[in-house]
Amino acid sequence: MKKAKIYIPNKSAMQSGLGKSIKWILEFETKDPTKNPLMGWESSSDTLSELKLEFSSKASAIDYAKKKRIDYELIEPKKRKIVKKSYADNFLK
């Protein structure tokens, strides 16, 4: 079977909150991308590369991959580093 990766997508630069960053994504890896001779775009005959499955938890994504016998790579999310800032700190230095 195909190899897939399970991850939480990063928030975009246009987001300030963490609204859509709680879903886990199972995405198949693209194999053998080729360049389209007419338009010059990268394309593939592999239709699984277009498929992204959303899960509410990491465990449900892993269970699905095991049930369907999909080889998967789990990418754990990095912890956000929160730096507390105060407006008064601008004048104390």
Please report the beta strands in the chain, taking only residues with DSSP state E, as ranges in sequence order.
Answer: 3-7, 24-28, 34-35, 42-43, 52-55, 71-74
In a domain, 17, yes or no: no
What is the predicted pLDDT for the residue at 1?
59
Q: How far apart are CA 24 and CA 64, in angstroms?
A: 12
In a domain, 64, yes or no: yes
In a domain, 66, yes or no: yes
pTM of the model: 0.70
- What residue numbers bound the domain in which 61 lies? 1-9+23-29+44-93
In a domain, 88, yes or no: yes
In a domain, 50, yes or no: yes
How many domains are there within the chain?
A: 1
List per-block mean pLDDT (blocks of 10 residues) for the chain, which spans 93 residues: 86 72 87 75 75 93 94 90 85 79
Question: Could you give the 3-state DSSP secondary structure of residue 40?
Answer: coil
In a domain, 14, yes or no: no
CATH number of the domain at 3, please: 3.30.160
